[in-house]
Chains A and B, each alone.
Chain A
């Protein structure tokens, strides 16, 4: 093709991480080209699709995949895109569209704890990061200002400057949990979120629609669509529907170009000086593996066979119960507060650490479905919906799974519509996880008691939910033997290929991974700019 597409910086993936790195670099004067496999979407359409969907609790229903850039969907039937090799199912969800997966998230934008970066040294498990918390701190702050983050001051993650805004006002449920758990020794803290409590950057304050997932209908919470838009406004060129299928290197092992298919499967070649792979923790390793060449037979950045390994996420167990008093979950943000006390401690040498997340999602749908399934109808149904929807609460944890080289993403034998191999995941849980889950269950029981809870329903033992915090598959480290990128996100094998992704996190910690990935990406961008 004779497109002559070229830029100083070519970013593959327009999600929040890639777009904010792109925004930083283009604002510093580089020419930036962003390639996004999926189509452009706009908020109004997503909102309209959500309101029209009969599957309100399927957060993927407003995001049907395109034919050329499929992503996994599991309802109403599994589209079989993310091939499961087992033994444990890893049903990750992500969105291949301009803006990426943070179109639906609860906007949780936590910093990790300083000790999270020194797991091996302190507790003899997992691995250490090649950087310290202090290396990350200024970039955390930069990310918080861009994304409009607020939160409690007492989360264990030191900060040099205050949050750019106050947290969203406490909902009644959040207030009652805080008050009733305090005597039991639990400190309930407001979640750190990228959600506006006031007008910020031209976006309004949260008005409590309580559908942060699958879509904040008013952009009160930050998302990758805004990041991509900001990058374009700052001068970056974004090409949607550009399915990158191969990264090309030159004789010296530098990246020379990337190749993408448009929706008609016409191939285009894009050259650049520096390349940033930001296509999430599954699609990025897939692309590196796909780009195997005569010289790099196992794929790019993979000379030590580390690409795709150490797959982590946050498995969750949960407890649903009826509180003693009417709390009316469903007013305000869906996920407003947490118990942080068990995110760190000597116990981490024995079992997984976790954060306990207190849900404030409307319970009307699940209560109604359960009552109808039990044959309740008529006036009784109405009465009992009111009773239970006002009282039903749920707790879950966000639990740290350790990096294991056998948990990994590989290329499947099966192919998508363009003939590109689908990603295949190998995933397993170990006793470190199970022991952490048992510890969490004990906490749930105490919490439910303090809330005067009845009708306690624990999630089944050994069956864990997933949180779509795909981490570890392109870990950073000082030693190429057990890592893919260096401390600045640059691949050990290719000096002009960087990776910006939750996938570079060496461990998963106990908080949602987005803010950390953005901070790491801004740090990479800073490094690229300084070395340009």
Chain B
């Protein structure tokens, strides 16, 4: 009897202990899930309509397409056999379990800042919270010399700072949390910081804006003209939460994906912390910028000028107002003022006081006309249709220039050639040629040195 009771007590106690362990593990996995959202892992590691984290997304880089890998806990096709240490090495050091080096399309230079605790949570989530998928996407095949992954070792030596995040004691807890997220998991600089000739971030111009594929990731440093200096903390939080702030900007392209996959899911405290930090970053100023990008233009209409004018036979000769009348005015309205903005979402945005028309780099304007604005799972739903199949390169250039003069930054411009390049997927990088050329030069130098040495030997 006594024994039984004791056994019962032991069983209950151990069951209770198991429950606690279980709850703690669940909490860890849940935190890992949140951090994975903060890191936006899913954006690159899932293909459209593909299974979450099963990889297969082809990322267009200046060097060629890099295909994301399966990071589900599949033991055959994913990272199911990774130990915590191997997981940490991949995440923060860019080293796979098999010792091969990752390409920095994986933002391990940012993730290097992730704390040990957060790595543990992420590991718990990826091992236990993600469904394994036993399928491998195609292998990445970059052209020579970038297919030699060992070359990344030299790159890492130059550009990977593997020190973890160290809080700045002179700043608030909130600021430090923001800095940890912005520089680490949220990896803002991956897109928003310009890169040098070797594709490494230029730390001197951190968050100063950069071209990412066909899109332009704007200057989000604290500069009052070139950056987001005048944005309030509430503006930044609202933008990250919803992807739009009336009178400022709306997210499109990769930023819309970042909002939908990542920022939308972060809690207010973290978004506020990121805003606080972003407001404090060193200002990166571009001399050409005379006004904040959202501060251009006003209510205006030139559509009346074309009323009653017959349309030209050749659609490529349609004027800006004619194109605006035909394709834009039904939603953005005759004076460019939009409609229903901010009632229960962005509504139909105004074209003036809109960052989309304020940058000197007009890639985003062209891309939005070509591809539209698409958001996922956001309520109320946002959609600007794509016009790429309706409008020619010349029509998009004419329309873009009209919009810039009428509602935006009149110093900016769009060319038909630019539209053509963006339509085709962006500029090819000179990097491949440079790398191959420098290998030839290096080879020739080596040959010259060898010849010299041989000659000397002969002499001696």
Instruction: List, in ascending order, chain A residues with CB within 8 A of B323's CB.
Output: 44
B385 A48 Cβ-Cβ under 8 A: no
By the criterion CB–CB under 8 Å, are A199 and B383 in contact?
yes
Chain B residues near A217 (CB-CB < 8 A): 330
Cβ < 8 Å to B, chain A residues 25-69: 42-45, 47-49, 51-52
Bound CA–CA A435/B355 (angstroms): 63
Contact B381 A199 (CB under 8 A): yes
Q: Judging by beta carbons under 8 Å apart, are A47 and B386 in contact?
A: no
Does any Cβ of A come within 8 Å of B327's Cβ? yes
Which residue of A is nearest B339, CB measured?
A: A207
Does A419 have its Cβ within 8 Å of any Cβ on chain B? no
A49 to B306, CA, bound (A): 11
Q: Which residue of chain B lies nearest to A209 when distances are taken between CB atoms in the complex?
A: B330
B390 contacts A202, C-beta separation under 8 Å:
no
Q: Give A218 to B386 CA distance when docked, in angstroms.
A: 11
The answer to whether A47 touches B325 (Cβ under 8 A) is yes
Interface residue ranges of B77-115 to A (CB < 8 Å): none
Q: Which of A194-216 contact B (CB under 8 A)?
A: 198-199, 202-205, 207, 209
Q: Chain B: which residue is nearest A233 at the CB level? A: B389
Per-residue CB contact flags for chain A residues 302-335 toward chain B (1 = under 8 Å, else 0) read 0000000000000000000000000000000000
Could you tell me if A47 and B385 are in contact, using CB atoms closer than 8 angstroms? Answer: no
Residue in contact with A45 in the complex, picked from B308, B311, B381, B385, CB distance below 8 Å: B311
Task: Using known A-B contacts A43-B390, A44-B390, A51-B325, determine if residue A207 contacts B307 with beta carbons closer than 8 Å.
Answer: no
Task: Collect the chain A residues with CB atoms within 8 Å of residue B252's CB.
Answer: none
User: For the complex, is B59 an interface residue (Cβ under 8 Å from A)?
Assistant: no
Q: B326 and A45: CB pair below 8 A?
A: yes
Whether B258 is near chain A, meaning CB under 8 Å from some CB there, is: no
Residue of B nearest to A47 (CB): B326
Kindly identify, within residues 167 to 211 of chain B, every residue whose CB is under 8 Å from any CB belonging to chain A. Answer: none
B78 to chain A, nearest CB (A): 32
Q: Is A344 in the interface zone, CB < 8 Å from B?
A: no
Q: Which residue of B lies closest to A51 (CB)?
A: B325
Q: Which residue of B lies closest to A219 (CB)?
A: B385
Residue numbers in B under 8 Å from A203 (CB-CB): 383, 385
In the bound complex, residues from chain B placing their C-beta under 8 Å from that of A48 are 311, 322, 325-326
Residues from chain B with a CB closer than 8 A to the CB of A49 are: 311
- In the assembled complex, the Cα of A445 lies from the Cα of B311 at a distance in Å of 46
Determine the chain A residues whose CB is within 8 A of the CB of B309 once the complex forms: 52
- Which of B308, B330, B348, B391 has the largest number of chain A CB atoms within 10 A? B330
**Closest A residue to B309 using CB positions:** A52
Say yes or no: B330 contacts A47, CB within 8 Å. Answer: yes
Task: Please determine whether B331 and A207 come into contact, CB atoms closer than 8 angstroms.
Answer: yes
B385 touches A204 (CB 8 A): yes
Interface residues of B in 312-366 (CB under 8 A from A): 315, 322-323, 325-327, 330-331, 339-340, 348
Output the least CB separation between A40 and chain B (Å). 11
Chain A residues with CB below 8 A from B372, complex form: 202
User: Which residues of A lie under 8 Å from residue B340 when comparing CB positions?
Assistant: 207
User: Which residue of B327, B331, B383 is within 8 Å of A44 (Cβ)?
Assistant: B327
Of the candidates B310, B327, B348, B390, the one whose C-beta lies within 8 Å of that of A207 is B348
Q: How far is the CA of A198 from the CA of B307 in the complex (A)?
A: 32
The interface size of chain A toward B, counting residues with CB under 8 Å, comes to 20
Q: How far is the CB of B172 from chain A (nearest CB, A)?
A: 41
Residue-wise interface mask of B (34-45) relative to A, using a CB-CB cutoff of 8 A (1 in contact, 0 not): 000000000000
Main secondary structure of the interface of A (DSSP, over half): loop
Inter-chain CA distance A198–B340, complex, in Å, is: 15
The CA of A43 and the CA of B315, in the complex, are separated in Å by 13
Instruction: Please tell me if the beta carbons of A198 and B327 are within 8 angstroms of each other in the complex.
Output: no
Q: Which residue of B lies closest to A48 (CB)?
A: B326
Question: How far is it, in angstroms, between the C-alpha of A51 and the C-alpha of B326 when the chains are bound?
Answer: 8
- Within A166-214, the residues touching B (CB, 8 Å) are 198-199, 202-205, 207, 209
Q: How far is the CB of A223 from chain B (nearest CB, A)?
A: 14
Which residues from B are CB-within-8-Å of A209? 330
A205: which B residues are within 8 A, CB to CB? 381, 383
CA distance A43 to B391 in the complex (A): 11
Asked if A218 contacts B311 (CB within 8 A), the reply is no
Report yes or no: A51 in contact with B339, Cβ–Cβ below 8 A. no
Bound CA–CA A303/B326 (angstroms): 49
Q: Which of B315, B325, B326, B390 has the most CB of A within 10 A?
A: B326
B390, A42: Cβ atoms closer than 8 Å: yes
> Closest A-chain residue to B382, C-beta based?
A199
Contact among B310, B325, B330, B381 with A218 in the assembled complex (CB-CB below 8 Å): B330
Whether A47 lies near B327 (C-beta < 8 A) is yes
Residues of B within 8 A of A219 (CB): 385
List the A side residues contacting B348 at CB < 8 Å. 207
B372 nearest CB across to chain A (Å): 8
Chain B, Cβ-Cβ closest to A229: B389
| Neighbouring A residues of B315 by C-beta, 8 Å | 45
In the complex, A207→B309 CA distance in Å? 27
A43 to B385, alpha carbons, bound, how many Å? 13
Contact residues in A for B331 (Cβ distance below 8 Å): 204, 207, 218
Interface residues of B in 370-405 (CB under 8 A from A): 372, 381-386, 390-391
Please give, as numbers and ranges, the residues of chain A lying within 8 Å of B385 by CB-CB distance: 202-204, 218-219
Q: Closest A-chain residue to B383, C-beta based?
A: A199
| B437, chain A: closest CB distance, angstroms | 42
Task: Name, among A42, A47, A52, A219, the residue most crowded by chain B CB atoms within 10 Å (CB to CB).
Answer: A52
B333 to chain A, nearest CB (A): 10
Partner of B381, one of A42, A52, A198: A198
Tell whether, in the assembled complex, residue B326 and residue A207 are in contact, meaning their CB atoms are under 8 Å apart. no
- Cα–Cα distance between A372 and B350 once the two chains are bound (Å): 36
Question: Which residues in A have some Cβ–Cβ distance to B below 8 Å?
Answer: 42-45, 47-49, 51-52, 198-199, 202-205, 207, 209, 217-219
Known: A45-B315, A45-B326, A204-B385. 19 other contacts (CB 8 A): A43-B327, A44-B323, A44-B327, A44-B391, A45-B311, A47-B325, A48-B311, A52-B307, A52-B309, A52-B311, A199-B381, A202-B383, A204-B383, A204-B384, A205-B383, A207-B340, A207-B348, A218-B330, A218-B385
Q: Could you list some 5 contacts between A and B, CB below 8 A?
A: A47-B330, A198-B381, A202-B383, A207-B331, A207-B339
On B, residues with C-beta under 8 Å from A are 307-311, 315, 322-323, 325-327, 330-331, 339-340, 348, 372, 381-386, 390-391
Closest 7 CB pairs of A and B: A44-B326, A217-B330, A48-B326, A199-B383, A44-B327, A199-B381, A204-B383
